[in-house]
Amino acid sequence: MHEEGTRTMDPDQALRQLVDRAAIIDVATKFAASLDHRRWEDYGSCLADEIEVSLPTMGGWVSMKREELMAFAERLYAQVDGCQHISANHQVTVAGDDATCLATLNATHHLTAEHEERIQREVGYYDYRLIRSDDGWQITHLLMTITWVEGNTAAFRQLQTNAAIPTAGA
């Protein structure tokens, strides 16, 4: 029995959609957790060979190779005592071998002792575009939108500069 206006889906198609959705959410959560645990190979496995990135301090979209983004993240997070990135409320859309995933972001950074105010938090969204590759789903585009911040934002921005954050047009 189906309600009017709903459509039926082939069971194999429904299963494939659920498997894809779970795999994409796994990539999004691994991407975030890998920063916290400093598992750079895991972090890199989430990324396509070439990725378009737009972080708030980049000033627009920047094309990067996987290894470049991995190296930037490693340099940045080597400067903090700890961090926690929460990726939640995943909204996934799959169209063949392409997908999007919008996830809420709550990133807390515990800065090193030389900073008087040691906590910095950013809240917003990760907006991913992904492709299905031979290695599974991988991120091709990453847009990070911050809706609010608290704590020592100036110090965290300086850490990004220290880590040589790429900028649009550079």
Calculate the alpha carbon distances from 23 to 114, 130, 134 in Å: 40, 11, 13
Distance CA 168, CA 7 (A): 44
Cα 144–chain centre separation: 7
- Phi, psi torsion values for 49, nearest 5 degrees: -60, -40
Measured between alpha carbons, how far is 126 from 104 in angstroms, rounded to an integer?
Answer: 6
Q: Provide the residue ranges of all domains of the chain, joining segments of one domain with +.
A: 11-162
Q: Which residue has the higher pLDDT, 2 or 106?
A: 106
CA–CA distance, 61 with 39 (Å, rounded to integer): 25
pLDDT value at residue 1: 37
State how far the Cα of 105 lies from the Cα of 149, in Å rounded to an integer.
Answer: 11
Return the DSSP state at 82: E
Q: How far apart are CA 22 and CA 129, in angstroms?
A: 15
- Which CATH number applies to 11-162? 3.10.450.50
**DSSP letters spanning 113-133:** TTSSS-EEEEEEEEEEEEEEE
Token digits of residue 27 = 């990539």
- pTM metric for this prediction: 0.90
Give alpha helix (H) positions in the chain. Answer: 11-37, 40-45, 66-77, 153-162
User: Given this model, what pLDDT does residue 156 score?
Assistant: 87
Distance CA 161, CA 44 (A): 21
- In whole angstroms, give the CA distance from residue 124 to residue 4: 37
| Residue 157: pLDDT over 90 | no
Could you report the per-residue pLDDT of 41-85, keeping only the tens digit for each?
999 999 999 999 999 988 899 999 999 999 999 999 999 999 999
